[in-house]
Amino acid sequence: MKTKSPLSAYILCGGKSSRMGTDKGFVRFRDRSFTDWCLEAARQITKDIHLVTANKKYAQFGYPLVEDIHKNKGPVGGIYTALENSATGWNLILSCDIPGITGSLLNHLFERTPEQTSIAFLSSGSNDYPLVAIYHKNCSKYFSEAIQENDLRLMNVIGKLNYERIEIPFSESHNLNNINTPEELEILKKTRYERYS
């Protein structure tokens, strides 16, 4: 457990959102934007929160905006930007399209991340969630190399590092679903949705 270690949080708000047809961070679920849900969860484990995006509209949330160092490099580029910007060793990386994420799940991740690892991410056992994860700043050079080689598959980079899967009960795994399309959003709205916070 490293509950006393400083932690920053970076919410990845970039991406073209081509399948959703609009910027996913502003999509609304239960009268709040996806970004609002992510911020609520992140605030339960740190006050040092940043939004990785070039879209100035995100300034409305009241947190610093960090523009990608390398454009159009997906999550690998977003994580690299976060780690280069960060002043802390440990960094929560969270995709903005996970409206079900909760503080309790993030605390579960944070408290169980071993000091000696480089990356820890939540897993249901059958699915891994590398964008609900804690990355150490020392990973930055590996992400830089991946960008230079244009190998933008996130799990390829993670596979080169010391990582830990932090399992959660399968019954809670629906809280980690990312919502990519209007159809998925409609299904979410029609489903009884229990948040664990």
**Does 13 belong to an annotated binding site?**
yes
- 73: in domain: yes
- 51: in domain: no
**Does 103 belong to an annotated binding site?**
no
Name the nearest CA neighbour of 178 among 9, 32, 19: 19
Q: What is the pLDDT of residue 178?
A: 87
- 196: in domain: no
Domain of residue 40, CATH code:
3.90.550.10
Quote the pTM value: 0.92
More confident residue, 49 or 191: 49
More confident residue, 193 or 55: 55
**Does 12 belong to an annotated binding site?**
yes
Q: Which residues of 40-71 are buried (b: 16+ CB within 10 A; e: fewer)?
A: bbbeebbebbbbbbeeeebeebebebbebbee
Q: For the chain, how many structural domains are there in total?
A: 1
**Does 14 belong to an annotated binding site?**
yes
Q: What is the pLDDT of residues 112-167, one digit of tens each?
A: 999 999 999 999 989 999 999 999 999 999 999 999 999 999 999 999 999 999 99
**Does 24 belong to an annotated binding site?**
yes
**Does 38 belong to an annotated binding site?**
no
- 30: in domain: yes
Distance between CA atoms of 44 and 164, rounded to whole angstroms? 22
Domain encompassing residue 185: 7-46+60-190
